[in-house]
Amino acid sequence: MILVDRVQMQAIDRYAIEVLKVPALSLVERASMAVLKHINLNKFGYFGVVVGVGNNGADGLALARNLLARYKDVEIFIIGDVEKASPEFKLNLESCEMLCEEIYYVESIEDLENMEKRLSNVNLIVDAIFGTGLNRPVTGIYATVISIINNVMKYKISIDIPSGLDASTGQDLGEVVDADLIVTMQLMKTGLYEREAYKRKCVIEDIGIPQKAIDSVIYGLVN
């Protein structure tokens, strides 16, 4: 099994997008569908989707959109400055705004209290706060959000990496989402593999990143 750290995964993503011209939006869409296939839609019908403003969040919004497309009940919680968000995030947010009335920006204590109340009523929480972009300890409102997610005791799916976990070292960078299932994109991450507790909850899903991108970064094969 190929293992990559977060720097290698980011380099592979970049190579796929910038050199091999794979549209980032298609990777995000494939990621969202890769998570959707692991949700029993006969069992789960009311979702809390908690997103950061990077591409992990874009994956989460694309998943929210695909759930809304099936008339599932979805509440979306956004943490961070949307101005900083990627084009893929903004495109998916635009569509979610057309399909969903329950989009909440989490900034204040009241927003956190509202999120906690609403998450206590859903039956599945999607963790799309941080993925391979987590690069420093989780503090402030992000730490509070993750502890709320863990405290409401719902079935939790983490997209790519449980938010709060260092994808390279497996170190907890503060609060870590206690995911029931982790759907990691394309390749197993060293930080997941080295922690048995995470490894056994992990599935790896192909999202269409060309093997050439992987080979170019892992083996330095550039032709």
Ligand X SMILES: NC(=O)C1=CN([C@@H]2O[C@H](COP(=O)(O)OP(=O)(O)OC[C@H]3O[C@@H](n4cnc5c(N)ncnc54)[C@H](OP(=O)(O)O)[C@@H]3O)[C@@H](O)[C@H]2O)[C@H](O)CC1
Task: Pick out the residues of the known binding site for K(+).
Answer: 56, 127, 163
Q: Rounded to an integer, what distance in angstroms lies between the CA atom of residue 120 and that of residue 41?
A: 19
Q: Which does 57 bind (CB under 5 to 8 A by kind): K ion, ligand X, none?
A: ligand X
Q: Rounded to an integer, what distance in angstroms lies between the CA atom of residue 153 and that of residue 123?
A: 9
CB atoms within 10 A of CB 18: 11
Smallest separation (angstroms) from K ion to the CB of 164: 9
Nearest to ligand X of 4, 207 (CB atom): 207
Element (H, E) at 106: none
Nearest to ligand X of 37, 43 (CB atom): 37
Among 90, 111, 133, 194, binds ligand X (CB under 6 A): 133
Nearest to ligand X of 100, 138 (CB atom): 138
3-state secondary structure of 74: strand
Among 148, 159, 192, 213, binds ligand X (CB under 6 A): 159
What angle is formed at CA 84 by the lines to CA 95 and CA 135, rounded to 5 degrees? 115
Q: Rounded to an integer, what distance in angstroms lies between the CA atom of residue 179 and that of residue 131?
A: 13
Task: List the interface residues with ligand X, window 174-203 (CB under 6 A).
Answer: 185
Q: Rounded to an integer, what distance in angstroms lies between the CA atom of residue 87 and that of residue 58?
A: 9
Question: Is residue 162 part of the contact set for ligand X (CB under 6 A)?
Answer: no
- Binding residues for (6S)-NADPHX, by number, are 55-59, 131-137, 142, 160
Smallest separation (angstroms) from ligand X to the CB of 55: 3
Question: Is residue 131 part of the contact set for ligand X (CB under 6 A)?
Answer: yes
Closest CA to 82 of 103, 112, 100: 103
Q: Which does 127 bind (CB under 5 to 8 A by kind): ligand X, K ion, none?
A: K ion
3-state secondary structure of 174: coil
CA atoms within 13 A on the CB side of 207: 31
Smallest separation (angstroms) from K ion to the CB of 43: 22
Nearest to K ion of 103, 167 (CB atom): 167
Smallest separation (angstroms) from ligand X to the CB of 42: 26
Smallest separation (angstroms) from ligand X to the CB of 221: 20
How long, in residues, is the chain? Answer: 223
Sign of CA dihedral 18, 24, 26, 28: positive
Residues that bind ligand X (CB under 6 A): 13, 17, 24, 27-28, 31, 52, 54-57, 59, 130-138, 142, 159-161, 185, 207
